[in-house]
């Protein structure tokens, strides 16, 4: 695919790829048990204490990105495994966020499906973004990019997170407000937070009921930040108008997942970071990390406990 040049390691390592997610730990260990180096994609594959114990040959674990809550770093250290990561760009998930917002606002999925099926012509009325309010929960690297685009659409931007200051919000063209006010006033609410103990379940039934019935929720961050049961109920019962989702608690999503059948959901299969430039960063730096490890040189993307 021209993403990264693995041939630079050809005479030093035997490279093989697993294209499917292997959920069973015993099966996974049987497939990679002889590997000294493993490269994993984001948080798709948990590396638990028990998995490390099944991989005595493992010496280096490389993850895309510098955050991976699915890796037990203490267990890695105890088993003598070096864990490192790569850079990751903020632009791709910010761009996908706007793809989901626009798809919801202009009913793109519904109208495109009708077009292909020779269905009704022009059957929906879209929502204007100009003059509407965008609420951003988490104004970090990605959230700030989302805010800048909102300005181009002449949207009012509200922002909130636990540590956000009014000055930082203003510098990004947003106004700091309370979580409750943001949810009550926003026409679109988008989440850009790191999953942690204090953000898990941050939006539950009470918070979703506090949104406008005409509002849409967008989550390209981490699924557990929103209570799943409450979200499904909100979408079914019309507490909110719709949701744009790129992240799910179980991936791939099961065939009978209710989110697959809700007409007011626009969903993508965790594509936020899936772009050519990002993949070049991931795999290009992974190759650099592996070469440095083999050479005994310092690895600049070493991950320590956070």
CATH number at residue 184: 3.40.50.720
Segment 233-269, tens digit of pLDDT: 999 999 999 999 999 998 889 999 999 999 999 999 9
* pLDDT band (50, 70, 90) for residue 302: confident
CB 147 within 8 A of CB 173: yes
Q: Which domain holds residue 26?
A: 6-89+275-295
Asked, for residue 76, whether it belongs to a domain, the answer is yes
Same domain, 136 and 244: yes
* pLDDT at residue 49, as a whole number: 97
Residue 143 has pLDDT above 70, yes or no: yes
Helices (H) and strands (E) in the chain, counts: 11, 10
Residue 153 has pLDDT above 60, yes or no: yes
Residue 304 has pLDDT above 70, yes or no: no
pTM of the model: 0.92
Segment 50-66, tens digit of pLDDT: 999 999 999 999 999 99
Mean pLDDT for the chain overall: 95
Same domain, 139 and 242: yes
* pLDDT at residue 207, as a whole number: 98
Residue 23 has pLDDT above 90, yes or no: no
The two structure tokens encoding residue 296: 């005994």
Residues 4-17 have a mean pLDDT of 90
* pLDDT at residue 3, as a whole number: 87
Asked, for residue 304, whether it belongs to a domain, the answer is no
* pLDDT at residue 19, as a whole number: 87
* pLDDT at residue 73, as a whole number: 95
Count of beta carbons in the 10 Å neighbourhood of residue 2 = 7
Same domain, 58 and 170: no
Same domain, 109 and 175: yes
Same domain, 230 and 116: yes
Same domain, 147 and 260: yes
What percent helix, strand, coil does the chain show, rounded to 5? 35, 15, 50
* pLDDT at residue 226, as a whole number: 98
Segment 59-93, tens digit of pLDDT: 999 999 998 888 999 999 999 999 999 999 999 99
* pLDDT at residue 301, as a whole number: 80
Same domain, 162 and 254: yes
In percent, how much of the chain has pLDDT > 90? 88
d(CA 36, CA 243): 42
Q: What letter would DSSP give residue 226?
A: B
Same domain, 151 and 81: no
* pLDDT at residue 21, as a whole number: 83
Asked, for residue 230, whether it belongs to a domain, the answer is yes
d(CA 295, CA 101): 46
Asked, for residue 66, whether it belongs to a domain, the answer is yes
Residue 2 has pLDDT above 80, yes or no: no
* pLDDT at residue 175, as a whole number: 98
Residue 275 has pLDDT above 90, yes or no: yes
Same domain, 61 and 163: no
* pLDDT at residue 305, as a whole number: 58
Asked, for residue 208, whether it belongs to a domain, the answer is yes
Place of tokens 């674990």: 61
Segment 172-192, tens digit of pLDDT: 999 999 999 999 999 999 999
Residues 204-221 have a mean pLDDT of 98
Which residues are designated catalytic?
A: 222, 251, 270
Residues 284-300 have a mean pLDDT of 93
Same domain, 243 and 282: no
Instruction: Count the domains in the chain.
Output: 2
* pLDDT at residue 279, as a whole number: 94
62, β-bridge pairs: 39, 84
Residues 43-52 have a mean pLDDT of 93
The two structure tokens encoding residue 85: 């990561």
Same domain, 38 and 110: no
Same domain, 53 and 96: no
Asked, for residue 300, whether it belongs to a domain, the answer is no
The two structure tokens encoding residue 28: 């996974």
Asked, for residue 238, whether it belongs to a domain, the answer is yes
Residues 114-131 have a mean pLDDT of 96
Asked, for residue 110, whether it belongs to a domain, the answer is yes
């Amino acid at each position: 695919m021209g993403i990264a040049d693995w041939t630079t390691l050809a005479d030093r390592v035997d490279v093989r790829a697993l294209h499917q997610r292997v959920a069973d730990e015993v099966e996974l260990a049987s497939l990679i048990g002889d590997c000294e180096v493993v490269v994993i994609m984001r948080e798709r594959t948990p590396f638990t204490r028990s998995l490390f114990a099944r991989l005595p040959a493992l010496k280096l674990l490389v993850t895309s990105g510098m955050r991976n809550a699915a890796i037990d770093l203490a267990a890695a250290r105890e088993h003598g495994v070096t864990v490192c990561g790569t850079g990751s760009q903020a632009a791709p998930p910010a761009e996908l966020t706007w793809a989901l917002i626009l798809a919801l606002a202009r009913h793109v999925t519904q109208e495109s499906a009708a077009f292909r099926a020779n269905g009704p012509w022009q059957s929906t009325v879209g929502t204007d973004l100009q003059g509407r309010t965008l609420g951003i929960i988490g104004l970090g690297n990605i959230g700030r990019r989302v805010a800048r685009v909102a300005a181009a659409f002449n949207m009012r931007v509200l922002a909130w997170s636990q540590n956000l200051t009014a000055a930082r919000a203003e510098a990004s063209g947003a106004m700091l407000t309370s979580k409750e006010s943001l949810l009550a006033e926003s026409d679109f609410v988008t989440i850009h937070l790191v999953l942690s103990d204090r953000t898990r379940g941050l939006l539950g039934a009470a918070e979703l009921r506090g949104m406008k019935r005409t509002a849409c929720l967008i989550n390209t961050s981490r699924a557990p930040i929103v209570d799943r049961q409450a979200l499904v109920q909100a979408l079914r019962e019309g507490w909110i108008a719709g949701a744009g989702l790129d992240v799910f608690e179980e991936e791939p999503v099961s065939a009978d997942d209710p989110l697959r059948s809700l007409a007011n959901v626009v969903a993508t299969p965790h594509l936020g970071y899936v772009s050519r430039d990002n993949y070049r960063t991931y795999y290009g730096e992974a190759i650099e990390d592996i070469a440095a490890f083999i050479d005994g040189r310092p690895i600049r993307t070493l991950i320590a406990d956070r």
